[in-house]
Structure 1
Amino acid sequence: MSNESLTTDMPHPTPSAVTRLQDYRRAHEVGADLEPLRRQVSAIIDEILADTAPEDAEVREKLRRHVYANPGRPEKALLGHLHSMSARRDEAG
């Protein structure tokens, strides 16, 4: 089997898979620098999610979604959550 047939038979990664891999590598490259911030943000997220006030259940669920969408990157999760909450308030007027 030639090298040419090997390369043509191999599936090419999708753009989203490549982007995720690049994000993963980038997160680990700067991870040490971000570790103190990530610990602080994780503590903030934990406090918010530990709250049991029924009137804030929807807010907590939205934050959980951001956390699940950004594994290992709590700073991005919290930033995304805050941004979405701000946009929601802007729409409400």
Structure 2
Amino acid sequence: MSQQTSEESLTPDAPRPSPTSSSVARLNDYRRAKAVDPDLEPLRRQVSTIIDAILADNAPDEAEVREKLRLHVARNPGRPEKALLGHLISMSDRQDEAG
């Protein structure tokens, strides 16, 4: 049985994962995982704290940003550092396009 990464399975025409609290639940599941590279653990804890703070905000004008971050978390289960990096890059690209 071959495993595809979540990014490989998402194409422009493919349905996107629903950004719900399940994304946060997966992040919490990661935190309880035992097989974590000890060198990445401090970074992942810090990034998880940042993600939690962003998602806990309830400012209506930032709802779209939170929605996009939830998608990145859903696409990168157990890898919050990659989720946050992808989110920041996509937001930066968006800023560049807006000019």
Length-normalised TM-score, structure 2: 0.66
Bigger helix share: 1
Deviations 1:42-88 (A, max 9, x none): 00000000000000000000000000000000000000000000000
Q: Which has the higher contact order (CA 8 A, sep 6+)?
A: 2
Q: 1:61 aligns with which of 67, 73, 85?
A: 67
2:81 counterpart SS class: helix
Counterpart code for 2:37: G
Correspondence 1:30-69 to 2 at 5 A: 31-69=37-75
**Count of matched residue pairs:** 71
Query: Equivalents in 2 of 1:82, 1:31: separation in Å?
Result: 23
Identity fraction in percent: 72
C-alpha distance in 2 between matches for 1:85 and 1:57: 14
Structure 1: state its 5+ residue gaps: 1-11, 21-27
Question: Take 1:76 and 1:36, find their aligned partners in 2: how far apart are those partners?
Answer: 14
Q: Distance in 2 between matches of 1:52 and 1:90?
A: 26
Secondary structure in structure 2 of the residue aligned to 1:33: coil
Correspondence for 1:74 among 66, 70, 80:
80
Aligned mates of 1:90, 1:31 — CA distance in 2: 35
Letter in 2 for 1:79: L
Structure 2 residues without counterparts, runs of 5 or longer? 6-33
Using structure 1 for the length normalisation, give the TM-score. Answer: 0.70
Code of the residue aligned with 2:45 in structure 1: it is: R
Q: Secondary structure at the match of 2:70?
A: helix
